Structure 1
Amino acid sequence: MPASAWVLFGGSFVNRLGTFVLPFITIYLTRRGYSVPQAGLAIAGYGLGGLGSQMAGGLLADRIGRKNAIALSMVSAGLLTLALWRATSLAAIYPLMIGIGFSGELHRPASGALIADLLAPNQRVTAFTLYRLAVNVGWAGGLALGGFLAERSFALLFVGDAVTSIAFGVISLVALPHGTRTARHEELHLPTARRSILADRGFLLFLSSVLLAGAVYAQNVSTMPLHIRDAGYSATVYGLLQSLNGITVVLIELPVIAWTQRHERLRMVALGHLLIGLAFATLLFADTIPLLVGMVLVWTVGEMVESPVAAAIAADRAPVHARGRYQSAFGSMFGIAWMLGPILGTTVYAWSPTVLWAGCGLLGGGAAVLPLAARRRPAPVHPAFDGAGT
């Protein structure tokens, strides 16, 4: 594994360790007197910004290089998080959440493209697994710490989140390579990224599956904390349950990935999406700590089965000159999911939690069918590109 890959993993760990604000923003806003749907709109604003960043981030990574895109993303996200801390009205909170979503997610296409630049196809699932491992070690520690801090001072959450974001930006500038960079004139003889994506029907089915599963997954920071609150538990319990997700990934993801690599990739994506849908459907009856722990474990296994494999599929199907933009298309599905999932989820939850959790199960089933259909549509052959990375 190249040293630059380990630097990327380490910087991602630092950033995720301080991801305090997003998981607790629903609780923060409702404590300040805003309604559940208003809090849901704030998270949807993050999703809207994230969608925009995915559309722009891949092209930015392909043009200015991976490390510059990551640094721009992280430093701007840190500064906007500090501004959100001082915001006192929804008129300020909503635009800032959009801005944080845009800047905070702008690094993802660059990170995914850098892994594709640095690693051969047969190493990418392992690399994406290690990347996720770094993220989830940070997630496990950060959410447990965040729940503890939230019980004492939300100001600490905002400052800590900002500092760790900026730290990742500095690490990127100092220690990461640019990766593959292209200029527009170098691509004149090649199909555009958009044309390549639209011609790959299997990839489009795969992206649709990611969108559906992402809308279910987005409930873990929008309506799941409300379910836990309404069951009579504190923010600390929610933070510990979320950290269980990261701890489980740390402990068993590598053996899980060793098993998934013996199976066809799109089948594994289907299995993972099905498990995620089933996990959230259990919130129809899961209102005790043992049942909630079980729900988190099922969701986590589903995530471990599908996530590294899905990221590798997006990298493998991309032509070299458009790796960043394929990662953008992949990440855009999460942006759309994070925009629609919280709005629909909080609205439906306010009306009927039962309908919401049953709907999550149905969406998970739909997300499992689409990758199976994609198996019948192989990737097109892409023309060669001779651009160099630095």
Structure 2
Amino acid sequence: MPQGFKDIPRVVWLLAAGVFVNAVVSFTFVFVFLYLTGPRGLSASEAGLVSGIGGVGLVAGNFTGGWYGDRFGHRRVLLAASLLGGTVLAALPLLPLALLVAALPAAQYTSGVIRAANSALVAVTVPEGARRPAFALVRCAANGGFTLGPPLGALIATGVSYGWLFVADGAGTLLLALWTARVVPARGAGAAAKAPAGGGRGILAELRDRPALLVLLGAILVTDLVYRQQYSTFPVFLTDHGLDARTFGFVLALNGAVILLLELPAAVALRSRPALPVIGTGMLLVGAAYGALLLGAGAGTAVVMMVLLSLGEILYKTTATAYVADAAPEHAVGRFQSLYAGVSVSGVVLGPTLGGTLYSGAPGLLWPLCAVLAAGAGGAVLWAAARPRRHAVRPAHETGSHPRAVAG
């Protein structure tokens, strides 16, 4: 086993196994629009509104999950959110429409809390400097599950009913709660953070002391807005140029294949490289991916676009997650992870709205703007990496460098 994998604690491998199983049955977000417009009889605009509110719930859950964890313990928050979310998901098909409209955002909110709490658990379990392979492992487990999930969900929806999708998703989330309770110790990694003497500094003060991190969070916000176009305006672009849904399905599958094949080896190979240049390079590749669409709208161009996008995702997402964890003060690991988690899914809400509006009004401007925005975000991160450090505290945060021994 490569050295980078040996540094990953056993509990993270077990958490990744739970994430994989849960991801396999987390297919309701793929089919919720069809469910609302089909069995529930909503119009497309009504379904879009409900789905959009659910996306707001997802983002809000990501922003707040780590805050709860710092106060009550990340393990405890993950368990509570999984139990609540699983119960709500399983009950959704039985709810009248008025209650469903309220319950769906609540389920999405708990999903966001679960994501943030899970990231925080990994961050507090793995020593600083060894986190990139650990986060890459969990991401690969999630991506592997999502690769299997949609085809399985389609079989359930067409062969049984859409209602059973929610039951299966809820059962998987409840199973995640039971699995987490079994594999994560009640004390230690999942415990609430202890503020240092004097009560600890406020989160804003901690962020002001980390200007490179502030640049990174802004760049992640911009890049995610661009990145999410692959799920909204990109398939419309392909359809408008005579390519059917099979092409879109193929390039999405290609995205999953590239990530599953290369993300873990890349995380191990680059684990001793300074984090910010790796992240900035990944964002530049995201910009290049959308710039490739200026060459035309054929299947070959779509493949090139998706390969570049996947490589960029591999470089920036895992590395940024680990960088934020390494930059966090001990009493605020969960809050820092929540900031990153919320920013990193903001495109779920902003992407379709802003991208769709621009594509409808001036379709020729969308891809050049996406390329410029992502490249600009990458350039900002590279600039932050090259700036002299004003704060010499904990220099390993800037490098994500070699693992260090941890007592116990």
TM-score range, shorter chain: 0.7 to 0.9
Residue 34 to residue 279, structure 1, CA distance change in 2 (3 Å): farther
| TM-aligned CA deviation for residue 371 of structure 1 | 1.0
Residue identity opposite 2:393 in structure 1: V
Once the two structures are superposed, residues 166-218 of structure 1 have per-residue CA deviations (whole angstroms, 9 ceiling, x without a partner) of 22122112221342534777664421233212332111101001111111222
CA distance in 2: counterparts of 1:308 and 1:260, whole angstroms: 11
Deviates more, 1:68-77 or 1:300-309: 68-77
Residue 7 to residue 165, structure 1, CA distance change in 2 (3 Å): same
Match of 1:75 among 56, 66, 83: 83
- 3-state SS of 1:122 partner: coil
1:233 maps to 244
Contact 1:269 1:306 in 2 (8 A): yes
| TM-aligned CA deviation for residue 67 of structure 1 | 1.8
CA distance in 1: counterparts of 2:254 and 2:158, whole angstroms: 19
Contact 1:205 1:373 in 2 (8 A): no
1:106 maps to 113
Residue 316 to residue 171, structure 1, CA distance change in 2 (3 Å): same
| TM-aligned CA deviation for residue 240 of structure 1 | 4.6
Contact 1:212 1:363 in 2 (8 A): yes
Match of 1:272 among 265, 279, 282: 282
Residue identity opposite 1:78 in structure 2: G
2:336 maps to 326
2:17 maps to 10
- 3-state SS of 1:181 partner: coil
Contact 2:233 2:359 in 1 (8 A): yes
Match of 1:216 among 217, 220, 226: 226
Structural mapping, 1:113-132, within 5 Å = 113-132=120-139
Residue identity opposite 2:325 in structure 1: A
Residue identity opposite 1:106 in structure 2: V
- Indicate yes or no: 2:315 matched with 1:305: yes
Q: How many residues align?
A: 381
Once the two structures are superposed, residues 254-313 of structure 1 have per-residue CA deviations (whole angstroms, 9 ceiling, x without a partner) of 332244335321111111112223324445566444433332222111111111110110
- 3-state SS of 1:106 partner: helix
- Indicate yes or no: 2:393 matched with 1:381: yes
CA distance in 2: counterparts of 1:323 and 1:25, whole angstroms: 33
- Indicate yes or no: 2:55 matched with 1:55: no
Once the two structures are superposed, residues 221-257 of structure 1 have per-residue CA deviations (whole angstroms, 9 ceiling, x without a partner) of 33344445554524x6644533332222221223322
Once the two structures are superposed, residues 70-125 of structure 1 have per-residue CA deviations (whole angstroms, 9 ceiling, x without a partner) of 12222333333345546776x66654443233110102222222222222223111
1:177 maps to 185
Larger Rg: 2
| TM-aligned CA deviation for residue 56 of structure 1 | 2.0
CA distance in 1: counterparts of 2:25 and 2:207, whole angstroms: 34
Contact 2:132 2:268 in 1 (8 A): no
Contact 1:56 1:106 in 2 (8 A): yes
- Indicate yes or no: 2:152 matched with 1:141: no
Residue 183 to residue 137, structure 1, CA distance change in 2 (3 Å): closer
- 3-state SS of 2:130 partner: helix
Structural mapping, 1:289-300, within 5 Å = 289-300=299-310
Contact 2:195 2:331 in 1 (8 A): no
Residue 272 to residue 345, structure 1, CA distance change in 2 (3 Å): same
1:192 maps to 202
Deviates more, 1:11-20 or 1:156-165: 156-165
Deviates more, 1:364-373 or 1:289-298: 289-298
CA distance in 2: counterparts of 1:348 and 1:33, whole angstroms: 26
Structure 1 gap segments, 5+ residues each: 383-388
Residue 220 to residue 28, structure 1, CA distance change in 2 (3 Å): farther
1:385 maps to none
CA distance in 1: counterparts of 2:282 and 2:84, whole angstroms: 33
Residue identity opposite 1:34 in structure 2: S
- 3-state SS of 1:120 partner: coil
Backbone CA RMSD of aligned residues = 3.1
1:247 maps to 257
2:174 maps to 166
Residue identity opposite 2:191 in structure 1: R
- Indicate yes or no: 2:364 matched with 1:354: yes
Deviates more, 1:79-88 or 1:52-61: 79-88
The TM-score with structure 1 as length reference comes to 0.85
Residue identity opposite 2:274 in structure 1: E
The TM-score with structure 2 as length reference comes to 0.81
1:206 maps to 216
- 3-state SS of 1:121 partner: coil
CA distance in 1: counterparts of 2:171 and 2:359, whole angstroms: 34
Q: Percent identity?
A: 29
2:349 maps to 339
CA distance in 2: counterparts of 1:25 and 1:197, whole angstroms: 37
Residue identity opposite 1:308 in structure 2: T
| TM-aligned CA deviation for residue 337 of structure 1 | 2.8
Residue identity opposite 1:204 in structure 2: L
Contact 1:41 1:342 in 2 (8 A): no
